[in-house]
Every structure is written in structure tokens, then in C-alpha cells.
């Protein structure tokens, strides 16, 4: 164990030097490092480690895309079409409607079953049609189609979420798919998560309809003609009930997809949102409004009426929405309309937001805990092992530099639990050296010469170090694999710390001690 070939010496020194070099940018403030990135030669490392949201402040959201809605909407469309077709084909049926993720109906006459099946498949070729014994027909989507609906919904949602968050002007948001139907959103530097959540919590499906003025309605269940539907006003009274209900023609004149721009603005001192249509939308809107001057328009946002103005003149390319906005809500609606509608609603499953003040406090507390812990361990090691203890301390410092370097290189994220992992590593990292030094002490007591005691100490402690560290590493790796968010940061630093401490204990202190041993050739040894 005492023989160190030259190449090995060079390798160990090189790894330590590289570790210190790559850890170095973390000791300097970010703006200076960013400057260096431009001025310094490109081979010099300029990467700092990433601070997690719990340290730099920001919002972490886990969202679920409620894609079942899209499935239900598709089924509703089939049901609507089928109702017309069945009436035209004069087929008797009962109980046509959507139940969960299937549409069902019961055909009165068994002889009609095959006709009904054909009709459904003509309406939507991608559905499965099952016919039961008693004429019960079930319409569902198969697995492939469902997967496609879900995947499309997620890809579209991610795109819309990205556009909406970009409007907030934050830097480096992370928006990625997680699992089957989830989106992970991490936005650094946001301290008011409620604005973010309100921005992502709305589908923002906008459409313009004509009001059906042939009936007057006063409640959600009042009867209206087949082509119309009742919608509530989005204003609520003191009890939380909508102030009014309107009958609205089902068919929209134009929908939000035809918008090319939306801006917050003012009219007579009140906040409004102005918008522009694309050419197709402008032609359709112009035609309808031109033919219906004097009637009322309904502007629907997510199944609620935000405004129901009287059409005073033909409106084509651009218009405004007055909806009793505040400056904030007008601005928010403009953002939502510019970014486009979400294909389905998003539900917040988990939120973790840390304000910038707490983040900085956590960094400071973590730093002082690390420094104090380090100081205590250094003092203790030197008090117990003297010069050998000093060698272990140097190894410990190199160990810390290697952890920093590895985290910066991997661009891993340092979280508060991660700092706890580093502090714990400081305590545990000296274990390998303690094992070796205690073994050397024993061998000296057994009457060996310094040279052979050190040799035996290293070789005998070696298997113990491997066994004991690998078992801890197993726990750390499982923690990483199974852990969520912040705990993973802890597992990463702990694993890197274990690997680095094995390297420094087995290679670095050995190199130091062997080099000293070969120079001094001591006759006696005190460890």
C-alpha cells in the first residue's frame, strides 16, 4: 500500500487541482463570474452550482392536466351529432348521454343495432362501439386514442403555460412533463404565487355569441330553445350567486383562436381589454355584427359571461371588452388571451413557494452551520491525531472542494437539505481516516515499525472502508430514486460526499503520509 507509482501521484494531484479549480467560481459572487465567462479563456470553468428554489426563492408547482374533460367534450360532440342523425334515420332509442368516460344509449329495436353502429362510426371513426344483449350501446375511446388525446393535451398545455409564464418576464422557468398527466413548473424569483396560480388556473377559453333574446331566463335551469344554453354572469352578489343568467346561442360567432392580439387599455378612465381578429375572424365577426345591429352580444370566458354589450355598429378587425375590470384583471385577461386557451383545466396538486428573504436566511444559516461544524471537526481531529489529524483535515477540505466541483459540473441543484447533507458529510467523511489511523495505532502497539504499521493500517482498513461506505451509498441512492423534490438534493450531496470521502481518505491522505514517510523515515511514530 505504500508504493505510489508516479502516474498515480500525478493523477491524484490532478484530480484535487481540478476539483479546486471547478469549485472556485462558487467562492465568488455571480456577477463577477458572469463577467469572467466573457473575458476569461473558454477552458476555465465558470459554472456555479444551481441553487434550489428553497434557497434562491421561487415557486414550485405540480399541475395535473384534466384531460378527461377533453374526452368528455369529444363524447358530448358525438352524442349531439348522434341525436340529430338518429332522429333523421327514425331510430328509436332511450338514455342517450355521457357517463364517465363513455357515451351510452339503448336502442329500442334490435334490428337497428348495426345501423346505429355505422352511424356512430361515421361520426367519429376513432371510437369503439360495443353492443350489449339488450340493445345497450357503449361508445368509448380505445387505449391508443386515449393516450393520444392525453399526450396532445399535455404538449399543448406545456406550450400555453410557457407562453403565459414568459409574459411574467421571469428568468429561467422550468416547465416539464412529469409522469402521465402532470406538468412540473418551477419559477425562480417569484414571491407572490397567487398571481402565478391565478394565471395558470384559468383555461381562458373565449368565445363571442349572440344572445338569444326570444326568451328571458332568471335561473340556471330555465327552459330555452334547443339551439341555446343558459350561462351565468361572472359577477356575483354578496352571497356568491351570479347576478344574472342569460340565454345564449350555442354556436359561437368566433372563438379565442381567431385573436391575434390583446392589450390592456383604458376607456373613459375604466380599464378595458382591446383585441384584434385575424382575417377569417374579422370577416365572420363583421358579417354577424353588421346584420344584427341592436341585438346583444355575449362574451363568454370559461363558461361565464364577462360582458353582454349591445351591438351598436358593425365590428370587424378589432374591438374592446368592458367587463368591470381592475387594472390587474384587465392585464391578466390580456395575457391569457395573447397566450391562448389551455386545452383542459389545470389542477394544482402541490405548491411550494419560498420568498427571497427566507431563501437568503437559509443560505446564511446553512453556511454558518457548515463553517462551525467544520471548525469543530478540524479542532477535534487535530487534538486527537496531531499531524495525522491535520492530513485528514486537508483531505476533508479537498473533499468539500470536490463536492462543490461535482455539483457545479453536474449542474445539480443545491437545496437546503443538500446543505444538511454536506454538513453531515463533514462529520462522516473523517470516518475513513479514523478507521485507518486507529488501525495504524493498533499496529504500532503490536510492535510494528512505522513503515509496516502504516502499510498494514491502510491495507487492513481498506475492506472495512469499502464495505461500510457502500452500504451507506445504497441508502443514499435509494433516497435519490424514491425521494421527492428537496429530499433528492440531500441524496445527491450525500452520495457525492461518500464517493469523495472514499477518494480523499484512501488516496489523498495516503499520498500525503507516504510522501512524508519516505522523506523523514521516522524511527518511531505517534498517531
Given the DSSP bridges, would you call strands 413-414 and 50-51 parallel, antiparallel or unpaired? Answer: parallel
Residues 459-478 that bind other proteins (CB under 8 A): 460, 463-464, 467-476, 478
- Polymer length in residues for the chain: 527
**All residues at 6 or more sequence positions from 455 whose CB lies less than 8 Å from its CB, including other chains:** 1, 2
Q: Is residue 270 at the binding interface for other proteins, with CB under 8 A as the rule? A: no
The residue among 120 and 476 lying less far from other proteins, judged by its C-beta, is 476
Instruction: Write each residue from 393 to 422 as x if it is in contact with other proteins (CB under 8 A), else as -, in one continuous string.
Output: -----------------------xx-xx--
User: What region does 277 belong to: left with phi over 0, alpha with psi -120 to 50, or beta?
Assistant: beta
Residues 56-75 that bind other proteins (CB under 8 A): 62, 64
The residue among 28 and 474 lying less far from other proteins, judged by its C-beta, is 474
Given the DSSP bridges, would you call strands 254-255 and 206-210 parallel, antiparallel or unpaired? Answer: antiparallel
Residues 299-338 that bind other proteins (CB under 8 A): none
Chosen residue from 189, 232, 309, 483 binding other proteins by CB under 8 A: 483
The residue among 270 and 434 lying less far from other proteins, judged by its C-beta, is 434
**All residues at 6 or more sequence positions from 286 whose CB lies less than 8 Å from its CB, including other chains:** 314, 315, 316, 317
Residues 197-256 that bind other proteins (CB under 8 A): 197, 201
Query: Which of the stretches 33-41, 151-159, 480-488, 513-521 binds other proteins when contact is defined by CB under 8 A?
Result: 480-488
Chosen residue from 491, 496, 505, 512 binding other proteins by CB under 8 A: 491
CA dihedral 461, 466, 472, 475 (to 10 degrees): -160
Q: Could you give the CA distance from residue 145 to residue 139 in angstroms, rounded to a whole number? A: 13
The residue among 242 and 356 lying less far from other proteins, judged by its C-beta, is 356
Q: Does residue 78 sit in helix, strand or coil?
A: helix
Axis crossing angle, helix 193-200 with helix 143-167, rounded to the nearest 10:
140
Q: Is residue 458 at the binding interface for other proteins, with CB under 8 A as the rule? A: no
Query: Which of the stretches 159-167, 248-256, 289-297, 355-363 binds other proteins when contact is defined by CB under 8 A?
Result: 355-363
Query: Which of the stretches 256-264, 303-311, 369-377, 511-519 binds other proteins when contact is defined by CB under 8 A?
Result: 369-377
| In the complex, minimum distance from the CB of residue 167 to other proteins, in angstroms, rounded to a whole number | 21
Q: Is residue 385 at the binding interface for other proteins, with CB under 8 A as the rule? A: yes
| In the complex, minimum distance from the CB of residue 111 to other proteins, in angstroms, rounded to a whole number | 45
Closest CA to 310 of 295, 299, 288: 295
Q: What are phi and psi of 485, to 5 degrees?
A: 30, -105
For residue 363, list its beta bridge partners.
Answer: none
Q: Could you give the CA distance from residue 14 to residue 280 in angstroms, rounded to a whole number? A: 67
Element (H, E) at 174: strand 174-178
Closest CA to 435 of 499, 364, 506: 506
Q: Is residue 126 at the binding interface for other proteins, with CB under 8 A as the rule? A: no
Residues 423-442 that bind other proteins (CB under 8 A): 423-424, 426-428, 430-431, 434-435, 438, 441-442
The residue among 236 and 372 lying less far from other proteins, judged by its C-beta, is 372
| In the complex, minimum distance from the CB of residue 290 to other proteins, in angstroms, rounded to a whole number | 41
The number of residues that bind other proteins (CB under 8 A) is 79
Pure H helices in 133-223: 143-167, 193-200
The residue among 119 and 183 lying less far from other proteins, judged by its C-beta, is 183
Instruction: Write each residue from 492 to 511 as x if it is in contact with other proteins (CB under 8 A), else as -, in one continuous string.
Output: --x-----------------
Query: Which of the stretches 31-39, 146-154, 318-326, 368-376 binds other proteins when contact is defined by CB under 8 A?
Result: 368-376
Closest CA to 397 of 23, 12, 8, 9: 23
| In the complex, minimum distance from the CB of residue 67 to other proteins, in angstroms, rounded to a whole number | 15
Amino acid at each position: 500500500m505504500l508504493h505510489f507509482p508516479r502516474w498515480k501521484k500525478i493523477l491524484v494531484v490532478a484530480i484535487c487541482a481540478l476539483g479546486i479549480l471547478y469549485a472556485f467560481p462558487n467562492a465568488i459572487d455571480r456577477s463577477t463570474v458572469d463577467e469572467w465567462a466573457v473575458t476569461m479563456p473558454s477552458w476555465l470553468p465558470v459554472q456555479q452550482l444551481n441553487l434550489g428554489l428553497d434557497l434562491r426563492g421561487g415557486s414550485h408547482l405540480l399541475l395535473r392536466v384534466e384531460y378527461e374533460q377533453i374526452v368528455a367534450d369529444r363524447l358530448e360532440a358525438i352524442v349531439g351529432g348522434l341525436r340529430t342523425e338518429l332522429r333523421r334515420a327514425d331510430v328509436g332509442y332511450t338514455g342517450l348521454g355521457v357517463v364517465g368516460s363513455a357515451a351510452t344509449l339503448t336502442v329500442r329495436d334490435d334490428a337497428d343495432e348495426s345501423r346505429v353502429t355505422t352511424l356512430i362510426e361515421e361520426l367519429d371513426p376513432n371510437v369503439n362501439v360495443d353492443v350489449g344483449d339488450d340493445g345497450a350501446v357503449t361508445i368509448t375511446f380505445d387505449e391508443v386514442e386515449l393516450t393520444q388525446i392525453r399526450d396532445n393535451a399535455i404538449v399543448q398545455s406545456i406550450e400555453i403555460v410557457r407562453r403565459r409564464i414568459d409574459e411574467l418576464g421571469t428568468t429561467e422557468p422550468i416547465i416539464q412533463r412529469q409522469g402521465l398527466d402532470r406538468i412540473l413548473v418551477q419559477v425562480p424569483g417569484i414571491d407572490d404565487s397567487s398571481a402565478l396560480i391565478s394565471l395558470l388556473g384559468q383555461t381562458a377559453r373565449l368565445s363571442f355569441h349572440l344572445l338569444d333574446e326570444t326568451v328571458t331566463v332568471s335561473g340556471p335551469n330555465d327552459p330555452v330553445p334547443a339551439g341555446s344554453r343558459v350561462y351565468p354572469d361572472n359577477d356575483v352578489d354578496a352571497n356568491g350567486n351570479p347576478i344574472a343568467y342569460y340565454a345564449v346561442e350555442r354556436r359561437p360567432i368566433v372563438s379565442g383562436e381567431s385573436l391575434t392580439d390583446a392589450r390592456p387599455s383604458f376607456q373613459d378612465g375604466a380599464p378595458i381589454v382591446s383585441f384584434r381578429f385575424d382575417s377569417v375572424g374579422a370577416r365572420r365577426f363583421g358579417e354577424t355584427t353588421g346584420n344584427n345591429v341592436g341585438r346583444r352580444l355575449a362574451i363568454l370566458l370559461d363558461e361565464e359571461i364577462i360582458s353582454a354589450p349591445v351591438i351598436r355598429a358593425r365590428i370587424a378587425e378589432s374591438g374592446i371588452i368592458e367587463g368591470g375590470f381592475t387594472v390587474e384583471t384587465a392585464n391578466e385577461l390580456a395575457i391569457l388571451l395573447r397566450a391562448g386557451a389551455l386545452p383542459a383545466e389545470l389542477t394544482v396538486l402541490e405548491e411550494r413557494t419560498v420568498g427571497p428573504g427566507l431563501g437568503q436566511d437559509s443560505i446564511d444559516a446553512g453556511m454558518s452551520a457548515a463553517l462551525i461544524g467544520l471548525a469543530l471537526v478540524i479542532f477535534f481531529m487535530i487534538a486527537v491525531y496531531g499531524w495525522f489529524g491535520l492530513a485528514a483535515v486537508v483531505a476533508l477540505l479537498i473533499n468539500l472542494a470536490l463536492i462543490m466541483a461535482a455539483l457545479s459540473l453536474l449542474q445539480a441543484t443545491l437545496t437546503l437539505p443538500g446543505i444538511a447533507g454536506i454538513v453531515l458529510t463533514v462529520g462522516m467523511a473523517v470516518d475513513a481516516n479514523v478507521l485507518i489511523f486507529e488501525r495504524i495505532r493498533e499496529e504500532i502497539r503490536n510492535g510494528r515499525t512505522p513503515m509496516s504499521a502504516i502499510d498494514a493500517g491502510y491495507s487492513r482498513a481498506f475492506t472495512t472502508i469499502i464495505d461500510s461506505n457502500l452500504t451507506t451509498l445504497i441508502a443514499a441512492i435509494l433516497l435519490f430514486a424514491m425521494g421527492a423534490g428537496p429530499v433528492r438534493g440531500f441524496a445527491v450531496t450525500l452520495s457525492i460526499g461518500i464517493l469523495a470521502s472514499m477518494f480523499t481518505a484512501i488516496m489523498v491522505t495516503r499520498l500525503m503520509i507516504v510522501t512524508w514517510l519516505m522523506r523523514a523515515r521516522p524511527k518511531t511514530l505517534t498517531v
